[in-house]
């Protein structure tokens, strides 16, 4: 499971010219589910994300988590994060989970965040979405659940 986190002042999702979800200060997360992913991947990522200290404290140091600052989260599914691009010029998405599995794990990931964050909003799985974001920093971090499963050194 791959998550792209962006520290945001605000973020929103629009579908068919209709505002679907919007958040204030916090995180915008694009989430890609791989074919081999399971519930544990969602749990590991969600737990790491809510504890990640990427918000500034009074001294300007990144020392606070999204929970520490009372931030909100917007999650959007994005299978293109699993693109294989090494061979040829047209990416393939064979590493992405089938839609049924991906949607189930996407929803599970959101439920894991909901256990720890007051405001978690999301896009619509599989929809053609327009995303607006005011990236703060910019701070953008790519997380892979496979990295989190490796032994700590």
CATH value at residue 48: 3.50.80.10
pTM here is: 0.95
Unique residue bearing structure tokens 């931030």: 71
> How many structural domains compose the chain?
1
pLDDT score for 151: 86
User: pLDDT value at position 12?
Assistant: 98
d(CA 48, CA 44): 6
pLDDT of residue 99: 95
Determine the pLDDT at residue 153.
Answer: 79
Question: Residue 18, Cβ neighbours under 10 Å: how many?
Answer: 7
For residue 14, the model assigns a pLDDT of 98
pLDDT tens-digit profile, the chain (153 residues): 999 999 999 999 999 999 999 999 999 999 999 999 999 999 999 999 999 999 999 999 999 999 999 999 999 999 999 998 989 899 999 999 999 999 999 999 999 999 999 999 999 999 999 999 999 999 999 999 999 999 887
Q: Which domain holds residue 92?
A: 2-149
Per DSSP, the residues of the chain read -EEEEEEEEEEEEEETTEEEEEE-SEEEEEEE-BTT--HHHHHHHHHHHHH---EE-TTS-EEE-TTTTT-EEEEEE-GGGG-B-SSSSS-B-TTBPPHHHHHHHHHHHHHHHHTT-S-EEE--TT---EEEEEEEEEEEEEEEHHHHHSPP-
- Look at residue 134 in the predicted model and tell me its pLDDT: 97
What is the spatial distance between Cα 15 and Cα 125, in angstroms, rounded to a whole number? 11
Closest CA to 95 of 36, 39, 146, 144: 36
């Amino acid at each position: 499971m791959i998550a792209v986190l962006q520290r945001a002042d605000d973020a929103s999702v629009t579908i068919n010219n209709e505002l679907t979800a919007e958040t204030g200060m916090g995180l915008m997360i694009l989430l890609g589910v791989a074919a081999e992913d399971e519930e544990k991947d969602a749990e590991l990522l969600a737990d790491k994300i809510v504890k990640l200290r990427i918000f500034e404290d009074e001294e300007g140091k990144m020392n606070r988590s999204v929970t520490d600052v009372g931030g909100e989260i917007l999650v959007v599914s994005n299978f293109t994060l699993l693109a294989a691009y090494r061979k040829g010029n047209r990416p393939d998405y064979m590493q992405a989970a089938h839609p049924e599995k991906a949607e189930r794990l996407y929803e599970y990931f959101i439920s894991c965040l909901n256990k720890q964050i007051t405001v978690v909003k999301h896009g619509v799985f599989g929809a053609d979405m327009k995303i607006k974001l005011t990236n703060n920093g910019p701070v953008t971090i790519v997380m892979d659940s496979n990295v989190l499963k490796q032994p700590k050194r």
